[in-house]
Amino acid sequence: MILNILLGTLSLLGIGFSIIFIKDYVKHKNELENNSFAKLSGIGFLVNFFDALGIGSFAPATALLRIFKQTEDRVIPGTLNVSCTIPVICEAIIFIKVIDVEIITLIVMLGAATIGSWIGAGYVAKLPEKSVQKLMGTALLITAVVMIMSKVGLMPLGGEAIGLTGWKLILAGFVNLILGALMSAGIGLYAPCMAIVFVLGMSPRVAFPIMMGSCAFLMPVGSIKFIKEGSYNRKASLAITIFGTVGVFIAAFLVKSLSLNILTWLVILVVTYTSYTLIKASNQNKNVSTTGLKKECITN
């Protein structure tokens, strides 16, 4: 019953968002951008296919949109949010239905991430980006090392549990609340959510409905704001939405059929890669700040 309510709510969010998106698209159909629907479709399929495998879509989508010059940098944030909303909602519905996870654990973690995002909009986004990136990158790197040690038998971790109780559930909810808040600062939820699921002894598969469900509840509201402000690329968003959804369904079958051993190594790779990108980004921010300070000193 509760699971049906959860899935029904996600479906309503998707329908409501789609109505607003389509109405805006039709209204501006004679003002569409001069870009390639074919290239955008390929980008949409590729990035959302890997998103459903836990890699994330925003970073590769940003890179591909810029490489192929398919949209202005100014509207990339809005385009990413609008174009990936439906694929993410589809991911959440698919994985919640096909992967077993205890309903209390699912509700606690989804609710915590949603509350965290609401809080983060006012507070966490004001934190120094460089510090957050370095902290998260270091934490994920340590987690990746611990996960590798567990795989080679040096530190038993992970498991096949589909839910949590007691202090583990409270800790998982608190961590997901923080991760939801950090999304407002541009820190992705996927990799750290995978890490906490593994460290607390749950099956790696359980991370997929949890992390995708968390994002599915967060994205529609922000995306609607971008639509109403017209701060997104309409043609790109439509192409990526359609073909990204196709990519999600194909990838979902792979995740469902992968062995736990392969899936665990996939999680380790995702966590390690995300750690590297965060630490690299924090160092780049440091260099930018230092350069800016030098310029300011010279000017003065």
- pLDDT at residue 286 tops 70: no
Residue 154: pLDDT band (50, 70, 90) is low
Q: What is the distance between the alpha carbons of residues 12 and 265, in angstroms, rounded to a whole number?
A: 35
Q: What's the pLDDT at 155?
A: 59
* pTM tops 0.85, yes or no: no
CB distance 110 to 92 below 8 Å: no
- pLDDT at residue 230 tops 80: yes
Count up the domains in the chain and report the number: 1
- pLDDT at residue 290 tops 70: no
Angle at Cα 9 formed by Cα 48 and Cα 103, nearest 5°? 85
Domain ranges, residue 16 = 2-299
- pLDDT at residue 164 tops 90: yes
Q: What's the pLDDT at 91?
A: 95
Average pLDDT of span 137-160: 74
pLDDT tens, 14-58? 999 999 999 999 999 999 999 999 999 999 999 999 899 887 788
Which is nearest to 231 in space by CA: 119, 83, 87, 86? 83
Q: What is the distance between the alpha carbons of residues 65 and 246, in angstroms, rounded to a whole number?
A: 19
